[in-house]
């Protein structure tokens, strides 16, 4: 019985060639940890960054399938990161999450090319929905 359970758990894990690379940027350490864990459970290969500069450096140094970035404050410090993400790949889905919703920041995020602007805290279901919507399932290699 234990063997069948262990086999099922291994089979439920995403295969390495199906992992999606997600850049997650949030200056709130608790949100960063919890969102990264949820994304990993969704089968994502997560690069978690605790600063916009670190996120921008990672974006310049690698390729990603999805970017989720926290807005920060009404000053909208994530602007250069979003500009870089969208400028590097017009098809790259960028989602902005924020604990500080303002119409001006929402409009700016949409103008920059963000796919959506969501209010924190995000539930596991919301993150799973982002992954499902932004990252269609890849066929597994035979």
Domains of the chain: 16-134 (3.40.50.2300)
Please give the model's pTM, rounded to 2 decimal places.
0.80
For residue 74, give every residue at least 6 positions away whose Cβ sits within 8 Å of its Cβ, in sequence order, or none. 100, 102, 104, 105
Among the listed ranges 26-30, 109-113, 135-139, which one has the minimum average pLDDT value? Answer: 135-139
Residue spans of alpha helices (H) in the chain: 2-12, 29-41, 52-61, 79-88, 103-112, 124-134
Residue 18's pLDDT band, with cuts at 50, 70 and 90, is: low
Q: Cα–Cα distance between 68 and 117 in angstroms, integer?
A: 10
- Average pLDDT of the chain is 81
Instruction: State pLDDT tens for residues 65-106.
Output: 999 999 877 677 888 888 888 886 667 899 999 988 888 888
Q: Cα–Cα distance between 9 and 29 in angstroms, integer?
A: 29
> Vertex 82, ends 81 and 84: CA angle to 5°?
65
């Amino acid at each position: 019985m234990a063997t069948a359970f262990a086999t099922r758990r291994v089979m439920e894990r995403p295969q390495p060639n199906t992992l999606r690379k997600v850049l997650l940027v949030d200056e709130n350490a608790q949100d960063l940890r919890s969102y990264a864990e949820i994304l990993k459970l969704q089968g994502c290969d997560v690069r978690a960054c605790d600063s916009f500069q670190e996120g921008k450096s990672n974006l310049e140094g690698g390729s990603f399938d999805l970017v989720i970035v926290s807005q920060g404050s009404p000053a909208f410090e994530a602007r250069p990161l979003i500009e870089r993400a969208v400028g590097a790949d017009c098809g790259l889905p960028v989602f902005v999450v924020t604990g500080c919703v303002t119409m001006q920041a929402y409009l700016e995020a949409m103008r920059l090319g963000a796919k959506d602007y969501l209010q924190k805290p995000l539930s596991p279901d919301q993150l799973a929905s982002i992954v499902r919507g932004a990252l269609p399932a890849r066929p597994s290699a035979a």
